[in-house]
């Protein structure tokens, strides 16, 4: 639900209403938490509408929508946090956010954690790539040393003001140093204080070994590259993963739909043939909170003549 509509209800609310505490509660339950990827507040509303319990701000999707550029480390901390804050502002669902490599060294990581916390984010993941970083499913990645990453994780744990804020440590070592070294790094990150471990881009033959070896909450990233298989939730849970990210599937679906609409418009010179299959004007405005606005107008005594309507 929107914070706009329930701001009053949240005053003096119990601990479990905080997104960070809710994410901790979800992680304590049996099974895995599904977190569809979102790139802006509109997608966040869609995820909430369809009954999911968490969502994920994808770095690659954020770079694509804010810059029209690939995920190669071009976005700054303030740009990423600004996007996260806008997403978190329209939904009470716990938001897991990409925090790249912390945007620098341990002191940069400290600031990153505090900025994401202030933005209303429930969890971030930090990766062990060098600056500039790149998407975890692209070739040509380079890593910082494991001790450097350990220092960043320690800085992140120290920087938390909310003890429920979840720190996810990601290693991209499979593609650079091999699977065994990726597991060794993950073990080091666990000992440094990470709450969840994220071994990026494992293949199907490596999934079982991850949780057997780490015996700790882990994250499954169902990226669109196909390097990690497109499994059902039940299959992923059976391997022992606690969080499942679906990073850019909504964005890719929108791109496909938009291309179809543009092709129709170009070919037919009108949108008449596709209009019946699209959300109506009212459905669109209801999705972005018009009913909440109308309720607040009534509450605040806005004259009938000045109220928004369809």
Mark whether 137 is an active-site residue.
no
Of these residues, 18, 45, 71, 115, which one is catalytic? 71
CA distance 221 to 1: 26
H or E segment at 37?
Answer: strand 33-38
Of these residues, 92, 117, 128, 135, which one is catalytic? 135
Of these residues, 24, 137, 170, 185, which one is catalytic? 170
Mark whether 208 is an active-site residue.
no
Mark whether 277 is an active-site residue.
no
Mark whether 237 is an active-site residue.
no
Mark whether 246 is an active-site residue.
no
CA distance 231 to 5: 36
Of these residues, 22, 24, 45, 125, which one is catalytic? 125
Mark whether 125 is an active-site residue.
yes
Of these residues, 127, 128, 164, 172, which one is catalytic? 127
Of these residues, 200, 220, 246, 248, which one is catalytic? 200
Mark whether 56 is an active-site residue.
yes
Mark whether 170 is an active-site residue.
yes
Q: What is the DSSP letter of 304?
A: G
Contact between 102 and 112 under an 8 Å Cβ cutoff? The reply is yes
Of these residues, 43, 83, 98, 189, which one is catalytic? 98
Of these residues, 100, 115, 128, 172, which one is catalytic? 100
Of these residues, 22, 43, 56, 83, which one is catalytic? 56
Tokens of 93: 């669902």
SS3 of 250-295 = HHHHHHHHHHHHHHHHHHHCCCCCCHHHCCCHHHHHHHCCHHHHHH
Mark whether 304 is an active-site residue.
no
Mark whether 309 is an active-site residue.
no
Catalytic (active-site) positions: 56, 71, 98, 100, 125, 127, 135, 170, 200, 221
């Amino acid at each position: 639900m929107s914070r706009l509509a329930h701001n009053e209800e949240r005053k003096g609310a119990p601990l479990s209403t905080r997104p960070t505490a809710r994410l901790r509660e979800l992680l304590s339950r049996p099974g895995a938490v599904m977190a569809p990827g979102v790139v802006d507040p509109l997608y966040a509303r869609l995820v909430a509408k369809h009954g999911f319990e968490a969502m994920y701000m994808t770095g690659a999707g954020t770079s694509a929508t804010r810059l029209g550029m690939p995920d190669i480390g071009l976005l700054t901390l303030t740009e990423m946090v600004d996007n996260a804050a806008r997403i978190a502002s329209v939904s009470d669902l716990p938001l897991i956010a990409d925090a790249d490599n912390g945007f620098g060294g341990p002191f940069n990581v400290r600031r990153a954690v505090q900025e994401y916390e202030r933005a209303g984010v429930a969890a971030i993941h930090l990766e062990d790539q060098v600056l500039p970083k790149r998407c975890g499913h692209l070739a040509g990645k380079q890593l910082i040393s494991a001790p450097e990453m350990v220092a960043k994780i320690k800085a992140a744990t120290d920087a938390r003001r909310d003890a429920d804020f979840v720190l996810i440590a990601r290693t991209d070592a499979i593609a650079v140093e091999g699977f065994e070294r990726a597991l060794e790094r993950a073990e080091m990150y666990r000992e440094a204080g990470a709450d969840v471990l994220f071994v990026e881009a494992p293949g199907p033959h490596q999934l079982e070994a991850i949780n057997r070896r780490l015996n700790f909450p882990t994250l499954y990233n169902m990226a669109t590259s196909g390097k990690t298989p497109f499994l059902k939730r039940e299959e992923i849970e059976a391997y022992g993963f606690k969080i499942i990210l679906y990073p850019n599937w909504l964005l890719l679906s929108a791109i496909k739909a938009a291309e179809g609409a543009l092709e129709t418009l170009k070919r037919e010179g009108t949108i008449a043939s596709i209009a019946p299959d699209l959300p109506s004007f009212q459905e669109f405005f209801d999705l972005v909170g018009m009913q909440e606005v109308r309720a607040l107008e009534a509450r605040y005594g806005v004259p009938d003549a000045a109220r928004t309507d369809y």
